[in-house]
Chain A
Amino acid sequence: MNMDEIKKIIIEQILEIAPEISEDDIDENKNIQRSLEIDSFDFLKILTALNEKLGIEVPEADYSKVDTLNNMAEHFLKQL
């Protein structure tokens, strides 16, 4: 799985959890929660869905490493 494929999966999950967001709203270098107004509850749901899809668990201590789409995809790529 490459970077673009992972990004695509992450975007799919974000749109699934927050259906009013369109793909164009997602800036890959901006903080996901802040720029898309996703609260801690929905962020956890996104990580839970990605855990089911990719089998990767993000410990709470690593949340700062998955704060943007780019960072999240890079972090997952290392783990796979």
Chain B
Amino acid sequence: MSTFVMPSLGADMESAVLMEWKVKEGESVSKGDIIAEVETSKGVIEIEVFEDGVIEKLLVKEETDCAVGTPLAVIRSKEQEVEEKESQEFKIDESPQKVLEPEEKKTDEKVFKQRIKISPAARKKAKELGVELSEVQGDKKEIHLRDIESETVPKKSEHPASGMRQAIAKAMSLSNAQIPHYYLSSSINMSPALKWLEEVNRNRAIQERILPAALLIQAVVYALKEVPQLNGFWRNDALEISKEINPGIAIALRKEGLITPAILNAHELNLDGTMKSLSNLIERTRSGKLRNSEITEQTITITNLGDLGAESVFGVIYPPQVALVGFGRIMNAPWAEGDTLSVRKVLQATIAGDHRATDGRIGGKFLDKLNQILQIPQELL
């Protein structure tokens, strides 16, 4: 018997609304199945189950705001299915849920009561007005629209920040307060890689074309295989290098904000696979649904400013990651080779590194590998 709890979908998340159950009591589930959809500041996220088993009991009604760590369901594992069932009462701790502590000490620790009902209209209004549901709750079991409206005292700002904006603000403040960043930058001649990509795309149908963004992600993954120290986490005062390479890709949302969902297991993909995964990820980020593993398992972040961006970007590392790779706009620039000067497509590649985990030597080695890889792009296919 195990209890499935509301997972933490990032250090900035305290609670989320369980929107919809995707399973019924008595249903069999396999590891990786979607069992519920929850609404967070990052949008609606599909939650995967982490074991094979049978849904014994759903403990929380749909549209309930649950703190991280709140028991949501009881899952009977497959082994227990086979064994003779000992009829044991499964007791749920009725005491207020403890919020799982993120790695940092929170100064404003709040303990949320579980199982508050919030009417959908109230939730929508609260979002619009930037009202914290926990502040409205008081002793109420249910929150209605009027509770939200009575809560809206005039604020300093006429436009309170959206939930997503606040989540970004929290993560970035934490990063700046905790992580001693170092920054390095290199100019990369992209002419050979872009010429090669043009040749590849010329013989392909439009649906099969590869964008430079996918090529750059692939090159980062290859370079990380050679310099693994930048792919991992700073935890308990030590660098934890990750075996998997799950680059979080900074994707701008159309209305406002930014999410960095991961291309999972990018180290197993070839260039076509990376392009397909990237397309799928961007589409789901902007108009569909992401999975919890995609927004929690990033091992490094890549931000690519693209054709309309600035020349270079020195990013803010997303804790507990230890590095962020940045790409500026690819532009025509004078380029010296030997003693001749010519015009080439030039890209500024940057790295922001956590100086607790690595030093500039490692960051420099990474940029050098990245450059070498991009000079022989045919090896990326």
A interface, CB within 8 angstroms of B: 18-20, 33-34, 37, 39-41, 44, 47-48, 51, 57-61
- Per the bound structure, the CA–CA distance linking A78 and B333 in Å amounts to 34
Whether a CB of chain A sits under 8 angstroms from the CB of B279 is yes
**A34 contacts which of B202, B211, B308 (Cβ < 8 Å)?**
B308
Q: Which one of B201, B211, B212, B278 has the highest number of Cβ atoms from chain A below 10 Å of its Cβ?
A: B211
Report whether A33 and B198 are in contact in the complex, using a CB–CB cutoff of 8 Å: no
Taking a contact as CB atoms under 8 Å apart, the answer to whether A60 and B202 are in contact is yes
CB <8 Å contact, A47 and B254: no
Q: Which B residues from 187 to 233 make CB contacts under 8 A with A? A: 198, 201-202, 205-207, 209, 211-213
Q: How far is the CB of B275 from chain A (nearest CB, A)?
A: 10
Q: Is the beta-carbon distance between A40 and B211 smaller than 8 angstroms? A: yes
Q: Which residue of B lies closest to A18 (CB)?
A: B254
B306–A59 contact, CB under 8 A? Answer: no
Q: Please, how many residues of chain B have a CB less than 8 angstroms from a CB on the other chain? A: 19
Smallest Cβ distance from A75 to chain B, in angstroms? Answer: 14
A40 near B307 with CB under 8 A, answer yes
Interface contact B198-A44, CB-CB below 8 Å: no
A20–B255 CB distance below 8 A:
yes
B282 is an interface residue with CB less than 8 A from chain A: yes
CB atoms of B213 and A40 under 8 A apart: yes
Nearest-neighbour CB distance to chain A for B307, whole angstroms, equals 6
Q: How far is the CA of A8 from the CA of B223 in the complex (A)?
A: 45
In the complex, the answer to whether A41 meets B282 with C-beta atoms within 8 Å is yes
Minimal Cβ-Cβ distance residue in A for B254: A20
CA distance A60 to B208 in the complex (A): 12
Q: Is the CB of B202 within 8 A of A40?
A: no
A61 (CB) vs chain B CBs: closest residue: B198
